[in-house]
A = this chain, B = another copy of it.
Amino acid sequence: MSGTTSARMEEDPLPCGMTGKRVLIVYAHQEPKSMNGSLKDAAVMELGNQGCQVTVSDLYAMNFEPRATKKDFEGPLNNSNFFNYGVEAHTAYKKGFLSSDVVEEQKKVREADLIIFQFPLYWFSVPAIMKGWMDRVLCQGFAFDFPECFDRGFLQNKLALISFTTGGDAELYSKTGLSGDIKYILWPLQHGVLHFCGFKVLAPQISFAPEYTSEEKRKEMVASWASRLETIWKEKPINCTPSWYFE
Protein backbone atom coordinates (compact mmCIF):
# COMPACT_ATOMS: atom_id res chain seq x y z
CA MET A 1 0.00 0.00 0.00
CA SER A 2 1.34 3.40 -0.93
CA GLY A 3 2.69 5.21 2.09
CA THR A 4 2.88 2.08 4.20
CA THR A 5 6.24 0.53 4.81
CA SER A 6 7.43 -2.33 6.94
CA ALA A 7 10.88 -3.01 8.27
CA ARG A 8 12.02 -6.15 9.96
CA MET A 9 15.59 -6.90 10.78
CA GLU A 10 16.34 -10.19 12.42
CA GLU A 11 19.39 -10.39 14.58
CA ASP A 12 20.58 -13.07 16.92
CA PRO A 13 20.58 -12.55 19.80
CA LEU A 14 17.85 -9.90 19.92
CA PRO A 15 18.32 -7.06 22.40
CA CYS A 16 16.12 -7.12 25.47
CA GLY A 17 14.51 -10.35 24.34
CA MET A 18 12.11 -8.24 22.31
CA THR A 19 11.55 -10.74 19.54
CA GLY A 20 8.38 -10.09 17.69
CA LYS A 21 7.32 -6.83 19.30
CA ARG A 22 5.24 -4.90 16.83
CA VAL A 23 5.22 -1.13 16.45
CA LEU A 24 2.92 1.11 14.43
CA ILE A 25 4.14 4.61 13.65
CA VAL A 26 1.33 6.96 12.64
CA TYR A 27 3.25 9.67 10.87
CA ALA A 28 2.04 13.04 9.63
CA HIS A 29 4.54 15.17 7.76
CA GLN A 30 4.56 16.21 4.12
CA GLU A 31 8.37 16.36 3.79
CA PRO A 32 10.49 13.20 4.14
CA LYS A 33 13.60 15.32 4.82
CA SER A 34 11.91 17.16 7.71
CA MET A 35 12.78 16.75 11.38
CA ASN A 36 9.64 14.65 11.75
CA GLY A 37 10.79 12.50 8.85
CA SER A 38 14.18 12.04 10.50
CA LEU A 39 12.60 11.13 13.84
CA LYS A 40 10.35 8.61 12.09
CA ASP A 41 13.31 7.15 10.16
CA ALA A 42 15.35 6.87 13.35
CA ALA A 43 12.54 4.95 15.04
CA VAL A 44 12.14 2.59 12.07
CA MET A 45 15.88 1.93 12.12
CA GLU A 46 16.35 1.50 15.86
CA LEU A 47 13.25 -0.62 16.41
CA GLY A 48 14.05 -2.66 13.31
CA ASN A 49 17.54 -3.29 14.67
CA GLN A 50 15.93 -4.59 17.84
CA GLY A 51 14.01 -7.15 15.83
CA CYS A 52 10.70 -5.39 16.08
CA GLN A 53 8.24 -5.43 13.21
CA VAL A 54 7.64 -1.78 12.37
CA THR A 55 4.76 -0.50 10.26
CA VAL A 56 4.46 3.13 9.22
CA SER A 57 1.18 4.78 8.29
CA ASP A 58 2.46 7.76 6.33
CA LEU A 59 -0.77 9.74 6.33
CA TYR A 60 0.07 12.39 3.71
CA ALA A 61 1.61 9.82 1.37
CA MET A 62 -1.57 7.76 1.78
CA ASN A 63 -3.68 10.92 1.27
CA PHE A 64 -5.55 9.71 4.33
CA GLU A 65 -9.15 10.93 4.51
CA PRO A 66 -9.69 13.04 7.67
CA ARG A 67 -13.41 13.76 7.22
CA ALA A 68 -15.95 11.66 9.11
CA THR A 69 -18.75 11.16 6.60
CA LYS A 70 -21.25 8.65 5.24
CA LYS A 71 -18.57 7.43 2.87
CA ASP A 72 -17.09 5.48 5.77
CA PHE A 73 -19.97 3.00 5.66
CA GLU A 74 -20.22 0.42 2.94
CA GLY A 75 -23.54 -0.99 4.08
CA PRO A 76 -27.03 0.24 4.99
CA LEU A 77 -27.16 3.03 7.55
CA ASN A 78 -28.67 2.37 10.94
CA ASN A 79 -30.77 5.52 10.47
CA SER A 80 -30.67 7.20 7.09
CA ASN A 81 -33.08 9.94 8.24
CA PHE A 82 -30.83 11.18 11.01
CA PHE A 83 -27.11 10.71 10.49
CA ASN A 84 -25.15 10.15 13.69
CA TYR A 85 -21.54 9.38 12.79
CA GLY A 86 -20.64 7.73 16.10
CA VAL A 87 -23.66 5.44 16.09
CA GLU A 88 -23.16 4.50 12.43
CA ALA A 89 -19.45 3.79 12.97
CA HIS A 90 -20.27 1.56 15.92
CA THR A 91 -22.87 -0.33 13.88
CA ALA A 92 -20.64 -0.63 10.82
CA TYR A 93 -17.76 -1.90 12.96
CA LYS A 94 -19.91 -4.64 14.49
CA LYS A 95 -21.44 -5.61 11.15
CA GLY A 96 -18.12 -5.43 9.31
CA PHE A 97 -18.79 -2.76 6.73
CA LEU A 98 -16.50 0.09 7.68
CA SER A 99 -14.61 1.49 4.69
CA SER A 100 -11.47 -0.43 3.79
CA ASP A 101 -9.02 2.34 4.70
CA VAL A 102 -10.37 2.41 8.26
CA VAL A 103 -10.37 -1.40 8.50
CA GLU A 104 -6.74 -1.46 7.34
CA GLU A 105 -5.69 0.98 10.07
CA GLN A 106 -7.65 -0.90 12.72
CA LYS A 107 -5.82 -4.08 11.71
CA LYS A 108 -2.48 -2.33 12.20
CA VAL A 109 -3.57 -1.06 15.62
CA ARG A 110 -4.82 -4.50 16.66
CA GLU A 111 -1.46 -6.05 15.79
CA ALA A 112 0.67 -3.39 17.48
CA ASP A 113 2.23 -3.57 20.93
CA LEU A 114 3.24 0.10 20.74
CA ILE A 115 1.86 2.97 18.69
CA ILE A 116 3.96 6.07 18.13
CA PHE A 117 2.32 9.22 16.82
CA GLN A 118 4.92 11.36 15.05
CA PHE A 119 3.85 14.86 14.02
CA PRO A 120 4.57 18.59 14.08
CA LEU A 121 2.40 20.48 16.58
CA TYR A 122 -0.29 22.40 14.68
CA TRP A 123 -2.30 24.80 16.82
CA PHE A 124 -1.52 23.08 20.14
CA SER A 125 -2.64 19.73 18.74
CA VAL A 126 -2.14 17.18 15.96
CA PRO A 127 -2.49 18.19 12.30
CA ALA A 128 -6.02 17.68 10.94
CA ILE A 129 -4.95 14.63 8.91
CA MET A 130 -3.91 12.89 12.14
CA LYS A 131 -7.00 14.08 13.99
CA GLY A 132 -8.99 12.46 11.21
CA TRP A 133 -7.12 9.20 11.77
CA MET A 134 -8.19 9.34 15.43
CA ASP A 135 -11.78 10.36 14.63
CA ARG A 136 -12.28 7.57 12.09
CA VAL A 137 -10.08 4.66 13.22
CA LEU A 138 -10.69 4.65 16.99
CA CYS A 139 -14.42 3.99 16.78
CA GLN A 140 -16.75 2.64 19.44
CA GLY A 141 -16.72 -1.15 19.49
CA PHE A 142 -13.11 -1.25 18.29
CA ALA A 143 -11.18 1.00 20.68
CA PHE A 144 -13.72 1.44 23.49
CA ASP A 145 -17.31 0.97 24.49
CA PHE A 146 -19.30 1.93 27.55
CA PRO A 147 -18.22 1.24 30.24
CA GLU A 148 -15.08 -0.11 28.53
CA CYS A 149 -13.18 3.14 28.44
CA PHE A 150 -10.17 4.69 30.20
CA ASP A 151 -8.55 1.89 32.24
CA ARG A 152 -11.05 -0.56 30.79
CA GLY A 153 -10.62 0.55 27.17
CA PHE A 154 -10.15 -2.19 24.57
CA LEU A 155 -6.56 -1.16 23.76
CA GLN A 156 -5.38 -1.55 27.36
CA ASN A 157 -2.68 -4.06 26.52
CA LYS A 158 -0.91 -1.63 24.24
CA LEU A 159 1.53 1.21 24.76
CA ALA A 160 1.22 4.59 23.06
CA LEU A 161 3.52 7.57 22.81
CA ILE A 162 3.26 10.93 21.13
CA SER A 163 6.44 12.32 19.59
CA PHE A 164 6.26 15.81 18.17
CA THR A 165 8.11 18.90 17.14
CA THR A 166 7.15 22.43 18.11
CA GLY A 167 7.62 25.85 16.56
CA GLY A 168 8.31 27.59 19.87
CA ASP A 169 11.09 26.77 22.28
CA ALA A 170 10.89 25.15 25.72
CA GLU A 171 10.80 28.53 27.45
CA LEU A 172 7.69 29.54 25.52
CA TYR A 173 6.05 26.26 26.60
CA SER A 174 6.89 26.65 30.29
CA LYS A 175 4.49 27.55 33.10
CA THR A 176 5.58 31.17 32.84
CA GLY A 177 5.80 31.21 29.02
CA LEU A 178 3.18 32.79 26.78
CA SER A 179 2.06 29.40 25.49
CA GLY A 180 1.81 27.90 28.98
CA ASP A 181 3.10 24.57 30.24
CA ILE A 182 3.43 22.09 27.37
CA LYS A 183 1.75 19.52 29.61
CA TYR A 184 -1.53 21.43 29.34
CA ILE A 185 -1.80 20.57 25.69
CA LEU A 186 -0.98 16.90 26.24
CA TRP A 187 -4.16 16.31 28.24
CA PRO A 188 -6.67 16.05 25.36
CA LEU A 189 -4.33 13.82 23.35
CA GLN A 190 -2.90 11.58 26.05
CA HIS A 191 -5.88 11.42 28.39
CA GLY A 192 -8.77 12.20 26.07
CA VAL A 193 -7.70 9.98 23.18
CA LEU A 194 -5.07 7.46 24.28
CA HIS A 195 -5.99 6.78 27.89
CA PHE A 196 -9.68 6.80 26.92
CA CYS A 197 -8.99 3.82 24.66
CA GLY A 198 -7.07 2.06 27.44
CA PHE A 199 -3.55 2.64 26.10
CA LYS A 200 -0.74 2.78 28.66
CA VAL A 201 0.81 6.16 27.85
CA LEU A 202 4.59 6.53 27.77
CA ALA A 203 6.15 9.94 28.36
CA PRO A 204 5.96 12.18 25.30
CA GLN A 205 9.01 12.85 23.13
CA ILE A 206 9.15 16.57 22.53
CA SER A 207 11.62 18.06 20.08
CA PHE A 208 11.50 21.80 20.64
CA ALA A 209 11.88 24.31 17.84
CA PRO A 210 14.03 22.31 15.39
CA GLU A 211 13.51 25.01 12.74
CA TYR A 212 15.30 27.55 14.85
CA THR A 213 18.32 25.57 15.92
CA SER A 214 21.53 24.29 14.36
CA GLU A 215 21.95 21.17 12.27
CA GLU A 216 24.10 19.79 15.06
CA LYS A 217 21.36 20.29 17.65
CA ARG A 218 18.82 18.68 15.33
CA LYS A 219 21.06 15.64 15.00
CA GLU A 220 21.34 15.51 18.78
CA MET A 221 17.56 15.50 19.10
CA VAL A 222 17.25 12.61 16.65
CA ALA A 223 20.05 10.70 18.39
CA SER A 224 18.40 11.29 21.76
CA TRP A 225 15.16 9.78 20.46
CA ALA A 226 16.95 6.77 18.99
CA SER A 227 18.80 6.31 22.27
CA ARG A 228 15.58 6.42 24.26
CA LEU A 229 14.05 3.78 22.00
CA GLU A 230 16.88 1.37 22.90
CA THR A 231 15.23 0.90 26.28
CA ILE A 232 11.66 1.86 25.44
CA TRP A 233 10.31 -1.58 26.43
CA LYS A 234 11.57 -1.09 29.97
CA GLU A 235 9.80 2.23 30.47
CA LYS A 236 6.90 2.57 32.87
CA PRO A 237 3.79 4.40 31.68
CA ILE A 238 3.03 7.80 33.13
CA ASN A 239 0.27 8.14 35.68
CA CYS A 240 -2.32 9.70 33.39
CA THR A 241 -4.26 11.71 35.99
CA PRO A 242 -4.90 15.47 36.25
CA SER A 243 -2.09 15.90 38.76
CA TRP A 244 0.50 14.80 36.16
CA TYR A 245 -0.68 17.57 33.86
CA PHE A 246 -1.78 20.47 35.99
CA GLU A 247 0.11 20.55 39.28
Give the B-binding residues of A (Cβ under 8 A). Answer: 30-31, 33-34, 60, 63-64, 66-70, 81-86, 122-129, 131-132, 134-136, 138, 149-150, 167, 175, 178-181, 184-185, 187-189, 191-193, 196, 211, 242, 245-246
Contact = CB atoms under 8 A, between A and B. Distances in A.
Given A30-B70, A83-B30, A84-B31, A124 B60 contact: no
B31 A82 contact: yes
A82 B134 CA distance: 27
A179 B167 contact: no
A246 B185 CA distance: 12
Contacts of A34: 82-84
B125 A128 contact: no
> Max chain B CB contacts within 10 Å: which of A64, A150, A188?
A188
7 contacts: A68-B122, A68-B128, A122-B131, A124-B187, A128-B128, A180-B242, A181-B242
A236 to B, nearest CB: 22
A64 B66 CA distance: 10
Contact of A191 (B69, B122, B180, B211): B180
A34 B179 CA distance: 35
A185 B124 CA distance: 11
A149 B178 CA distance: 10
Contacts of A82: 31, 33-34
A204 B79 CA distance: 31
Contacts of A66: 66-67, 128-129, 131-132
Contact of A184 (B125, B132, B138, B245): B245
B124 A188 contact: yes
A29 to B, nearest CB: 9
Nearest to A30: B83
A121 B206 CA distance: 26
A122 B196 CA distance: 12
Contacts of A245: 184
Contact of A123 (B30, B33, B64, B188): B188
Contacts of A63: 67
A239 to B, nearest CB: 14
